[in-house]
């Protein structure tokens, strides 16, 4: 199986504080541009512009990020079902043109019914994945320049669609996530990059093997991505002391402001169970799930803890089981971004080559 070059990916935050800060910070649009430029300066390849049921609009934010940078590629979270796929295709093609070919769409089908119902979507998870499958296929027809583009499917019907703007390349890269049978089926057929949440090496290895086997049925070999938070310091001892401080901050913030994180219902229970299994199964002493467990899964914050050298070795274990993109961020946004980008990223790339 062909191996892909590594990509280092960040996460754009509109807050100068992190989840572990004792006092939550205000929404700060100026920080969006600042952290984007920091990722670019530190050598990151791409950034995720996230989306949830309460967050700022991801496409508008991505446009601001693109304007603030010159090289940094985008991974823009987008939930199918709230605007027509033809409109979404034009929006992402426009972003791609303005950014010089840096657009990417992360299709978020949402694993929590609570999240989708905030915006009036009462479909089941399986129904949402079927809709996302049709949605992506329509976007790709528009990006390919098919005009007139007519369609009558299970979820969408339109006539004479098209777009006067197309992506600079053959299309916009599609990121996909999910572990349900339909998520795997459609993602194996569609995804340019299959994205996994955090987990132990053994958990991630199993997910990578499943996706690769399913994709091979279609003659495909998508890239894979994994997200993980890093608690980094000059030494392993200092990093674990910092982890203890972060946990104290979470506990203090919850005591002062109530439960931290998003109400995910059953999905939070699944996250907590995964964290417990990671702890039980982890051969990696760097893996830490304390923040996930402290918030009962409302925060999906698994961490690797250690010095830069230790963290490089930890990430190489994920590389060995097939991870190509590393979505790795810290907790002190600017300082950790610089450290990860300049001390961890280059060595990870060198040793993985």
**Could you give phi then psi for residue 324, rounded to 5 degrees?**
-105, -45
pLDDT at 134: 98
Residue listed under structure tokens 């229970």: 269
Q: Quick one: average pLDDT of 124-136?
A: 96
Phi, psi (degrees; rounded to nearest 5) at 325:
-105, 130
Among the CATH numbers 3.80.10.10, 3.40.50.170, 3.20.20.30, 3.40.50.300, which is that of 7-225+321-352?
3.20.20.30
Mean of all residue pLDDT scores within the chain: 91
264-282 pLDDT per residue, tens: 555 444 545 555 555 544 5
- pLDDT-above-70 percentage for the chain: 92
Contact 341, 39 (CB under 8 A): yes
Q: What is the rounded average pLDDT of the residues 143-171? A: 95
Main-chain phi, psi angles of 332, to 5 degrees:
-95, 100
Q: Hey, where are the domains in the chain?
A: 7-225+321-352
Residue 341 is predicted with a pLDDT of 98
């Amino acid at each position: 199986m062909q191996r892909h070059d590594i990509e280092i990916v960040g996460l754009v935050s509109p807050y100068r504080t992190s989840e572990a800060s004792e006092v939550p910070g205000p929404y700060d649009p100026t920080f969006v541009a600042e952290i984007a430029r920091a990722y670019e300066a530190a050598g990151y390849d791409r950034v995720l512009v996230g989306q949830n049921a309460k967050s700022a609009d991801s496409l508008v934010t991505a446009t601001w990020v693109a304007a603030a940078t010159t090289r940094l590629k985008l991974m823009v979270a987008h939930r199918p079902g709230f605007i027509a796929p033809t409109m979404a295709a034009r929006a992402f093609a426009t972003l791609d043109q303005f950014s010089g070919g840096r657009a990417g769409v992360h299709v978020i089908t949402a694993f929590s019914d609570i999240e989708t119902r905030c915006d009036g979507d009462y479909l089941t998870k399986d129904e949402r994945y079927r809709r996302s499958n049709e949605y992506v296929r329509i976007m790709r027809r528009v990006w390919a320049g098919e005009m007139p583009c007519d369609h009558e499917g299970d979820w969408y019907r339109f006539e004479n669609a098209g777009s006067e703007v197309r992506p600079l390349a053959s299309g916009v890269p599609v990121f996909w996530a999910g572990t349900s049978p339909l998520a795997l089926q459609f993602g194996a057929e569609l995804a340019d990059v299959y994205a996994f949440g955090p987990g132990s090496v053994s958990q991630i290895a199993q997910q990578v093997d499943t996706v690769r086997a399913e994709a091979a049925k279609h003659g495909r070999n998508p890239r894979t991505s994994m997200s993980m938070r890093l608690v980094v310091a000059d030494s392993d001892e200092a990093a674990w002391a910092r982890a203890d401080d972060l946990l104290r901050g979470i506990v203090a913030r919850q005591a002062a402001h109530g439960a931290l994180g998003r109400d995910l219902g059953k999905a939070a229970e699944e996250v907590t169970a995964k964290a417990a299994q990671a702890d039980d199964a982890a051969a990696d002493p760097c893996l830490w799930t304390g923040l996930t467990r402290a918030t009962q899964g409302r925060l999906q914050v698994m961490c690797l803890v250690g010095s830069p050298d230790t963290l490089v070795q930890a990430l190489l274990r994920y590389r060995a089981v097939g991870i190509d993109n590393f979505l790795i961020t810290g907790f002190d946004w600017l300082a950790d971004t610089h450290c990860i980008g300049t001390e961890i990223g280059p060595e990870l790339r060198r040793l993985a080559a």
